[in-house]
Structure 1
Amino acid sequence: MIQEMVNGSIAVLTQPSVQAFERHERDNLVWALIYAVIASVINGVIVAFSSLLSGGGISELIAIILSAVLSTIIGSLIGWGIIYLLGRAFGGTGSFGELAWGLSLFSSPLAVGQGIATVIPFIGGIISLALTLYGVYLTYLAIQSGMNLPAQKALYIAIILAVIGILIVCATVGLATIAILLGGGFAP
């Protein structure tokens, strides 16, 4: 099954189209989660290795990997659920498993790519941003395939998701700034 997912990932990443997603579509939520968890373990190892190089300990390594796996499972299910509910609201007829499978085909490899990009000085941020934008486009295609929606309705969902993502990033940055200010940060 992993080989089938890797082949599907290669196809949708290198020849992005609704047809590519349709050719590799499966209704298998369990393997979509397994694929996402594999990507999170790889990212956890990358972050943990980077932490070890900067003086972190083995206990930190285990905690980082476990938190990556748990946050991936919870985050994936919530994200896929939001997309599924939006798809249903716009008249989509696909199953949750089909949507999750299609989304995991590209999101897992892109997550690993972003994990690697974070350890690259200077251009890592640019690479990560490019992968994020590519992921938004692939989400648009996966919504069409996984929810059986026309392009225009999938675009509306992708725009709603982008707005939600931007709001989450703004809220996170705002809360982090408040925490730093309350903690006495930025003081001379």
Structure 2
Amino acid sequence: MIQEMVNGSIAVLTRPSVQSFEQHERDNLVWALIYAAIASVINGILAAITAPLRVGELRAQLEAQGVPPDAIEAAIAQQGNLIIAIFAGIFGTIIGSLIIWGFIYLLGRAFGGTGSFGELAWGISLFSSPLAVAQGIANAIPFIGGFILFILLVYGVYLNYLAIQAGMNLPSQKALYISIILFVIGLLFLCVTVGFAFLAILAGGFAP
């Protein structure tokens, strides 16, 4: 089954089209989650390996937020803990995937889609899992890593648009509406997250 999913990933990543997704479509939620979890394990290993490179940056951020020294050392120690990184990644990936896929599925049904949840999840996992690994690698690349992440993000949005059409049996226009809704929600979430982080830094700077 893994080989089948890898072949499907290669197809949709190198020949992105609704037809490619439909050709490799399966109704299998369990293996979609397994595939996503495998990508999470790989990223957990990468994060643990590259953690020493990020220690200085992490320490500076936590100090700027006024985090106590003991808590800073504990946080830094956890960055290199491979077991914690892997299990936290697997748990977060499974829960996060179910929430995101479920939300997309509900939107698809609201727009008249007839596909199954398993088909949608399978199609999305074919591109999201390898792209997640690629993003993990890009995140560790200095200077140009941010640009690569942006390219991968844009490509992922496009592939998601195609996967929604195939997985939910929707015309391109309705799939575009769903993609726009998802983009706006993601942008709002990012703004809120950055806003809270900025406020936390400010609060740390004004702390006695």
TM bracket (short chain): over 0.9
1:41 matched to 2:32? The reply is no
Counterparts of 1:129 and 1:75, CA distance in 2: 21
In structure 2, what residue type is equivalent to 1:119?
Answer: A
Q: Which runs of 5+ in 2 are unaligned?
A: 56-75
Q: Which letter maps to 1:63?
A: I
1:155 to 176, 196, 201: 176
Q: Distance in 2 between matches of 1:39 and 1:73?
A: 11
Kept in 2: contact 1:29–1:98 (CA 8 A):
yes
Q: TM-score, normalised by structure 1?
A: 0.94
- Provide runs of 4+ in structure 1 moved above 4 Å: 52-59
Counterpart residue number, 2:152 = 131
Identity within the alignment, %: 72
| 1:114 aligned residue | 135
Contact map agreement 1:102 1:146 (CA 8 A) in 2: yes
Amino acid paired to 2:140: V
RMSD over aligned Cα atoms: 1.6
2: CA distance between counterparts of 1:153 and 1:116? 33
Indicate the residue corresponding to 1:182 in structure 2. 203
Tell me the equivalent position of 1:80.
101
Quote the residue 1:168 is aligned against.
Answer: 189
Residue 162 (structure 2) aligns with: 141
Greater RCO, CA 8 A, separation 6+: 2
Q: Deviations over 1:22-81 (max 9, x none)?
A: 000000000000000000010111111111456655763222222111111111111101
Normalization by structure 2: what TM-score?
Answer: 0.86
Which structure 2 residues correspond to residues 27-38 of structure 1 after superposition, within 5 A?
A: 27-38=27-38
Separation in 2, partners of 1:41, 1:164? 27
How many residues are matched? Answer: 186
Match of 1:9 in 2: 9
Structure number, greater radius of gyration: 2
Name the CA distance, whole Å, in 1 between partners of 2:196 and 2:42: 28
Name stretches of at least 5 consecutive residues in structure 1 with no aligned partner: none
